[in-house]
Structure 1
Amino acid sequence: MVLERVWKGLLLVVAVAILVAAVFQLGIVSAPWSDDAADVRVLGDDGDLKAEVDVEVADTQQERYTGLSDHESLEPGDGMLFVHDDEDERTYVMREMDFDIDIVFVDADREITSIQHARAPEPGEDGENLRYTGDAQYVLEVPRGYANETEMAVGDTLEIDYEE
């Protein structure tokens, strides 16, 4: 009888551990030990520094869905870095955004593939129809005009240092 209770208890512990691991792995909940911020540097073809951006990292499905829609604005030098598991064609929308942004699509080798200048929805628009597409594993969002001010260009590379 005691042995049976021990086995049931162990089975319950294993089942809970598997469930918790699955929740974190699927990105339903952000792991408490995951990186929430990073420093991103944009380097030109010659290796010269073009821009430095302090970013929030969106690496779960929920964080990527919400994005910057819960922000009122971004200061120059601030942004959000969206991290995907692999490189693919990505479409970003301006759902519930309050301000314009530059959307920088970056491939698995951390090379910029395209830069889109996105406007915020106008009154009466929800932003779902404002769609911007590019090939990327990483997507960097910065205030509108920041990419032009810093002369970011297709072919530039990103260095990403996750903060601890």
Structure 2
Amino acid sequence: MRRGLGLTALALWAGAASGADCDRPGLAAALQEQGPAVLCIAGAKGPVRLSVEIADTEAERERGLMGRRDLPPGTGMIFIYPTPRRVAFWMHDTPLPLDMLFIEAGGGIETLHENARPFDDTPIWSAGPVRYVLEIAGGQAAALGLRPGQRVLPLD
């Protein structure tokens, strides 16, 4: 049950995170396995809540958001890796620009790549080892005031 382990690890970010700006009714002990998860980022312009799809298997991570023509504001996809590692993403068969947030095991945004070009096969690398990557619609990171160093928290 890899999904359960990855989601439990994601939920454990709360212990080390200082997300005072995020109104947290209760941190999830584990995120639900079905349906979107809810994340909160203590952004520069206030708390940001995102409803995200979870990609925690190799097949889900390989497919990602390929072929998607729409990604509404406030939504995204989080890629969960079993252990921290340096990762590369590309925009193969992805028709919309994306912002990519490379997130350390402790929940801090390590690197931010804005407006990745649609259909571009050039690798986009994390600067160092990360455990999670969050993809949101291109331009949303700037609009929401997201930047490296901010914390990402799971919510109930």
Q: Fold-level match, TM-score > 0.5?
A: yes
| Structure 2: unaligned runs, 5 residues or longer | 4-31
Asked if structure 1 preserves the Cα contact closer than 8 Å seen for 2:66 and 2:93, the reply is: yes
- Within 1, Cα distance between the matches of 2:142 and 2:117? 15
Asked if structure 2 preserves the Cα contact closer than 8 Å seen for 1:92 and 1:131, the reply is: yes
Paired residue for 2:82?
85
Paired residue for 1:161?
155
Paired residue for 1:146?
140
- Within 2, Cα distance between the matches of 1:55 and 1:143? 12
Asked if structure 1 preserves the Cα contact closer than 8 Å seen for 2:97 and 2:137, the reply is: yes
- 1:94-126 deviation digits (Å, cap 9, x = unpaired): 1100100000000000000010021102xxxxx
- Within 2, Cα distance between the matches of 1:110 and 1:36? 21
- Within 1, Cα distance between the matches of 2:149 and 2:2? 32
Could you state the TM-score of these two structures normalised by the residue count of structure 2? 0.73
Paired residue for 1:99?
96
Quote the RMSD (CA, aligned, Å). 2.1
Asked if structure 2 preserves the Cα contact closer than 8 Å seen for 1:81 and 1:138, the reply is: yes
- 1:69 paired with 2:69, answer no
**CA 1:161–1:70 in 2, change beyond 3 Å: closer, same or farther?**
farther
Bigger helix share:
1
Asked if structure 2 preserves the Cα contact closer than 8 Å seen for 1:103 and 1:140, the reply is: yes
Map 1:96-135 onto structure 2 (within 5 A): 96-117=93-114, 118-121=116-119, 127-128=120-121, 130-134=122-126, 135=128
Could you state the TM-score of these two structures normalised by the residue count of structure 1? 0.69
Higher RCO (CA < 8 A, seq sep 6+): 2
Shift of 1:35: 4.0
For the pair shown, which has the larger CA radius of gyration, 1 or 2? 1
- 1:34 paired with 2:33, answer yes
